[in-house]
Amino acid sequence: MATKKSNTIKLKFDSSRNLAPAPESKSAAKINSRYDLFINGKFEKPSGKKYFDTINPATEEKLSEVAEANEADVNKAVKAARDAYDKVWKKMPAKERAKYIYRIARMVQERAREFSVIETLDGGKPIRESRDFDVPTAANHFFYYAGWADKLEYAFPNRNVEPLGVAGQIIPWNFPLLMAAWKIAPALATGNTVVLKPAETTPLTALKLAEIIEEADLPPGVVNIITGAGATGAAIVNHPDVNKIAFTGSTDVGKIIQRAIANTNKKATLELGGKAANIIFDDAPLDQAVEGVINGIFFNQGHVCCAGSRLYVQESVYKTVLRKLKDRMESLIVGDPMDKNTDIGAINSRSQLEVINKYLKIGQQEGAEMYQTACSIPKKGFFCRPTIFTNVAQSNRIAQEEIFGPVLTIQTFRTDDEVIEKANNTPFGLSAGVWTDKGSKIFNMTTKLRAGVVWANTYNKFDPTSPFGGYKESGYGREGGLHGLNAYVSLV
């Protein structure tokens, strides 16, 4: 790294600042050697008798094997959900429904440590994040929506609220347990029953959740959790007796789903990709802004649909911001996700690492300048150094396409109008960030940025009460908060 002498204080990295390892114990996590499908309140063997491995992306070791659900299994799960809907769930008094969901929330909290460890082992995210963010937020989500179950008439003025029926839910691998909570909690609160499919690389916490659901005595069939890959998901989407599809994942798959259900009356909510602009003005508190940029793009290895992957810096502070950013990046610890000091864990899968590496090549070929920190990364497992690209053009693929990794592009701007134009110049519209000390400028920006979530002087914050979802090709519908109820009801 060729750094020039500067008068400002900066962190020194030439001294040895290796922290002693602080690994979380694996003993808290009980992982079975094999998991079956959770259908109609019990674990059942898959009718195709096929299982696939789920590995720890940090070590490439096999953790367990899980059942692959075929069409017959999907039929069974949907049938169980339909029966539970008709015979039990839709007739149950709302306050009783609420108590089941509260019970699930409590049990997730009780077993929080176990969930955190398994989430990190199966998905590669730092234990600090699964412990402090994923698992508590998932429990809170159940707790929040439980309370809505018997209060729905207050959510939609002048309308009667009815459930849709059976919800087919397909969730991604970046926040496995949290996404399950985002999907299941509002669906149950509004009186629907569920068939949920976790991602094939991260099925374990959803299956643990199935154990809790069994333990919580939820009526059989109200929640069914089945594992598999794309074909299983397609079978859920195409099943004629599913009334609603809720999908979180890539924009490409979202479009396939919209096409697949075009000829049906299925309702859909799609939570798709993003390419968020994170904008720093020259009057921003720069140290805080740099923290926000780090959190925006390196949180969860950048496997975040709302990641702040396009940084726009006002020209006058560009050099300072770039220096501070590089300094801060040097202090990031990449490695064992189970270590409590780790900032950036493992990339979720080999295939995702290949995607990221492909984009690193594309970026360089396009003429952008790549910078990676000098940190060491483990020999085994899937890892990627924190990466930034400078000298990026708006039309570069790395500035237009979602990379879904710890890769940031940096561009500059001069005026407010210019950066609004650049920030909105994308087919996506999920999120955005603004850093400035001036309140009136914040509101000008937050109003004009065409995105569903705008963070001002903060980034990547989530809460069960806060609606989340995109504009344009980032999908439709909201999850979280009062507005999240809308996805699971029909108003009459």
Footprint of other proteins (CB under 8 A) = 140, 157-159, 251, 254-256, 258-259, 261-263, 270, 272, 427, 442, 446, 450-458, 461, 463, 465-469, 471-476, 478, 481-483, 491
Which is closer to other proteins, CB of 282 or CB of 291?
Answer: 291
Q: How far is the CB of 189 from other proteins (least distance, A)?
A: 17
Which is closer to other proteins, CB of 292 or CB of 302?
Answer: 292
- Contact by Cβ (8 Å): 63, 120: no
Q: How far is the CB of 340 from other proteins (least distance, A)?
A: 21
Nearest Cα to Cα of residue 89 among 3, 146, 165, 174: 165
Biggest distance spanned by C-alpha atoms of the chain: 74
Nearest Cα to Cα of residue 194 among 157, 151, 236, 136: 236
Q: How far is the CB of 308 from other proteins (least distance, A)?
A: 13
Residue 476 to residue 474: CA distance in whole angstroms: 7
Nearest Cα to Cα of residue 167 among 261, 249, 96, 255: 261
Give backbone dihedrals phi and psi of 329, rounded to 5 degrees, phi first. Answer: -60, -35
Q: How far is the CB of 109 from other proteins (least distance, A)?
A: 14
Q: How far is the CB of 262 from other proteins (least distance, A)?
A: 4
Which is closer to other proteins, CB of 341 or CB of 466?
Answer: 466
Give backbone dihedrals phi and psi of 366, rounded to 5 degrees, phi first. Answer: -75, -5
Residue 98 to residue 286: CA distance in whole angstroms: 45
Q: How far is the CB of 437 from other proteins (least distance, A)?
A: 12
Q: How many CA atoms lie within 13 A of 471 on its CB side?
A: 17
Is position 305 annotated as part of the catalytic site? yes
* CA torsion through residues 272, 171, 303, 228, sign: negative
Which is closer to other proteins, CB of 15 or CB of 158?
Answer: 158
Whose structure tokens read 């569903």? 452
Which is closer to other proteins, CB of 15 or CB of 157?
Answer: 157
Is position 271 annotated as part of the catalytic site? yes
Which is closer to other proteins, CB of 216 or CB of 307?
Answer: 307
DSSP summary character for residue 87: I
Catalytic residue among 68, 119, 129, 305: 305
- Contact by Cβ (8 Å): 405, 303: yes
Residue 193 to residue 225: CA distance in whole angstroms: 11
Residue 228 to residue 195: CA distance in whole angstroms: 13
At CA 437, angle to CA 433 and CA 440, rounded to 5?
A: 85
Contacts of 218 (CB under 8 A, 6+ apart): 41, 100, 104
- Contact by Cβ (8 Å): 370, 414: no
Catalytic residue among 119, 200, 271, 473: 271
Amino acid, res. 141: H
Which is closer to other proteins, CB of 247 or CB of 298?
Answer: 247
Which is closer to other proteins, CB of 125 or CB of 267?
Answer: 267
List for the chain the helix, strand, coil content (%; round to 5): 40, 20, 40
- Contact by Cβ (8 Å): 157, 490: no
The beta strand positions in 201-341, using DSSP E, are 223-225, 244-248, 267-271, 277-280, 310-314
Contacts of 114 (CB under 8 A, 6+ apart): 28, 29, 30, 208
DSSP summary character for residue 92: S
Q: How far is the CB of 264 from other proteins (least distance, A)?
A: 8
Which is closer to other proteins, CB of 168 or CB of 254?
Answer: 254
Contacts of 233 (CB under 8 A, 6+ apart): 170, 197
Q: How far is the CB of 203 from other proteins (least distance, A)?
A: 27
Q: How far is the CB of 175 from other proteins (least distance, A)?
A: 17
Catalytic residues: 271, 305
